[in-house]
Copies of this chain bind each other. A is one copy, B any other.
């Protein structure tokens, strides 16, 4: 039974606490949070204790540190845990500053502890099924990938600056998904974007509607369609076109109920509203994959390098937007 020190007691931390408890091979050992009350409340639900971050990371009984605190602490807490010899699960991103990410990744790799970055979407049963089908060659060589990724509604205005901008905050998941499905590293990035959704986004110098294209050395193309607002729930679809046909994964409706009326036509249910609902199973599968890797001493499926590469693609997209040019990137060996 692996003992988990959970850093953070917010929304994502609660999801992890539940999955840790439900997993037959892990238990929630402690919760740490800047708010002692939040930590206490979460810990009490699972008969866990409240520890300070320092105590938790260095506790001899703790096997794994799960970093689900606010973004600016991810790199620091991860490094502390790595130095304490713990296995680490860190929510994305490692940091918004690419130099700090590079330094952190290098140090973690040097220390050699298991480190998994939380790219939960790879573990969504639908996206994972697409991945398996592509790798099994069901449509031959992949040629063109289309990712549609739209949040139901914009982030709060006061989060806009802290977010690091849409490409680093939101598209980062899509960059990772593109790499995951492509099976070949992108060598160039170009981006088109607008601020159409809210005046606050425009005022902050950010964008909320974008199309980003990636191209690999062999010519495969991935296009990411992003919006901060769908207006009808979470839009999380992927299409893959290849030599022998196409594969698609669609959104997941809340239920299969369909209503047919004179006025409304044929009305199916909206997609599951946002990531808590849509990626509920993905978070559970992600945790299982991590625990399995730690127990069996096999490599974790999403590494610190994956976190760095996704951020490098985000930086390239930002540069493309600024220069209005295709920007070359080199991810091999990172």
Residue of A197, A223, A241 ringed by the most chain B CB atoms within 10 A: A241
Q: Which of the candidate stretches A100-108, A167-175, A187-195, A297-305 sits at the interface with the other chain?
A: A187-195
Minimum C-beta distance from A188 to chain B (A): 8
A324 at the interface (CB under 8 A from B): yes
Of the candidates B192, B220, B221, B223, which one forms a contact with A215 in the assembled complex, judged by CB atoms under 8 Å apart? B192
Closest B residue by C-beta to A197 = B143
User: Which residues of chain B are near A241, meaning CB under 8 Å?
Assistant: 150, 227, 230-231
Closest B residue by C-beta to A222 = B211
Within 8 A of B (CB), among A191-227: 192-197, 209-211, 213, 215, 219-221, 223, 225, 227
Q: Which of the candidate stretches A50-58, A73-81, A123-131 sits at the interface with the other chain?
A: A123-131
A112 at the interface (CB under 8 A from B): no
A255 at the interface (CB under 8 A from B): yes
Tell me whether A267 and B267 are in contact in the complex, defined as CB-CB below 8 angstroms, given that A139-B259, A192-B326, A231-B244 are known contacts.
yes
User: What 0/1 readout, one digit per residue, does chain A (232-262) give for beta carbons within 8 Å of chain B?
Assistant: 1101000101111111111111111111111
Copies per complex of this chain? 4
User: Which residues of chain B are near A261, meaning CB under 8 Å?
Assistant: 139, 231-232, 244-246
Q: How large is the interface on A (under 10, 10 to 19, 20 to 34, 35 or more residues)?
A: 35 or more
Instruction: Kindly state the separation between the CA atoms of A251 and B213 in the bound complex, as whole angstroms.
Output: 24
A162 at the interface (CB under 8 A from B): no
Of the candidates B129, B264, B267, which one forms a contact with A257 in the assembled complex, judged by CB atoms under 8 Å apart? B129
User: Which residues of chain B are near A221, meaning CB under 8 Å?
Assistant: 192-194, 209-211
User: Which residues of chain B are near A252, meaning CB under 8 Å?
Assistant: 256
Of the candidates B225, B239, B249, which one forms a contact with A255 in the assembled complex, judged by CB atoms under 8 Å apart? B249
Minimum C-beta distance from A64 to chain B (A): 22
User: Which residues of chain B are near A144, meaning CB under 8 Å?
Assistant: 209, 211, 225, 227
User: Which residues of chain B are near A215, meaning CB under 8 Å?
Assistant: 192, 194
Say yes or no: B265 contacts A246, CB within 8 Å: no
Say yes or no: B253 contacts A258, CB within 8 Å: no
A269 at the interface (CB under 8 A from B): yes
User: Which residues of chain B are near A242, meaning CB under 8 Å?
Assistant: 231
A-B contact pairs, 29 of them (CB 8 A): A125-B254, A125-B255, A129-B255, A133-B259, A146-B146, A190-B192, A194-B221, A196-B220, A209-B221, A210-B221, A211-B213, A211-B223, A213-B213, A223-B223, A223-B225, A227-B241, A230-B246, A231-B243, A232-B261, A246-B259, A247-B260, A248-B257, A249-B258, A250-B256, A253-B266, A260-B270, A266-B269, A266-B270, A267-B268
